[in-house]
Chains A and B, each alone.
Chain A
Amino acid sequence: ILNVEQSPQSLHVQEGDSTNFTCSFPSSNFYALHWYRWETAKSPEALFVMTLNGDEKKKGRISATLNTKEGYSYLYIKGSQPEDSATYLCAFSNDYKLSFGAGTTVTVRA
Chain B
Amino acid sequence: KAGVTQTPRYLIKTRGQQVTLSCSPISGHRSVSWYQQTPGQGLQFLFEYFSETQRNKGNFPGRFSGRQFSNSRSEMNVSTLELGDSALYLCASSETSGSYNEQFFGPGTRLTVL
Contacts and interface: CB of A to CB of B under 8 A. Distances in A.
Interface of A: 1, 4, 31-32, 34, 36, 42-46, 49, 51, 89, 91, 93, 95-103
Contacts of B41: 102
21 contacts: A31-B100, A32-B100, A34-B99, A36-B105, A42-B107, A43-B3, A43-B106, A43-B107, A44-B90, A45-B105, A46-B104, A89-B42, A91-B43, A96-B48, A96-B55, A97-B48, A98-B33, A98-B43, A100-B42, A100-B45, A103-B42
Contact of B102 (A49, A99, A101): A49
Contacts of A96: 48, 55-56, 97-99
Contact of B103 (A1, A46, A95, A103): A46
B105 A43 contact: yes
B16 to A, nearest CB: 28
A15 B96 CA distance: 39
Interface residues of B, number: 29
Nearest to A101: B42
B43 A49 contact: no
A59 B14 CA distance: 44
B71 interface: no
B101 interface: yes
Interface in B1-52: 3-4, 33, 35, 40-45, 48
B26 to A, nearest CB: 12
B59 A1 contact: yes
B66 interface: no
A49 B100 CA distance: 7
Report, nearest first, the 4 A-B pairs whose CB atoms are least far apart. Answer: A93-B99, A100-B43, A43-B105, A100-B42
Contacts of A93: 99
Given A43-B90, A44-B43, A91-B43, 20 more contacts: A4-B42, A31-B99, A31-B100, A32-B100, A34-B103, A43-B105, A44-B92, A46-B102, A51-B100, A93-B99, A95-B99, A96-B56, A96-B97, A97-B33, A98-B45, A100-B44, A100-B45, A102-B40, A102-B42, A103-B42
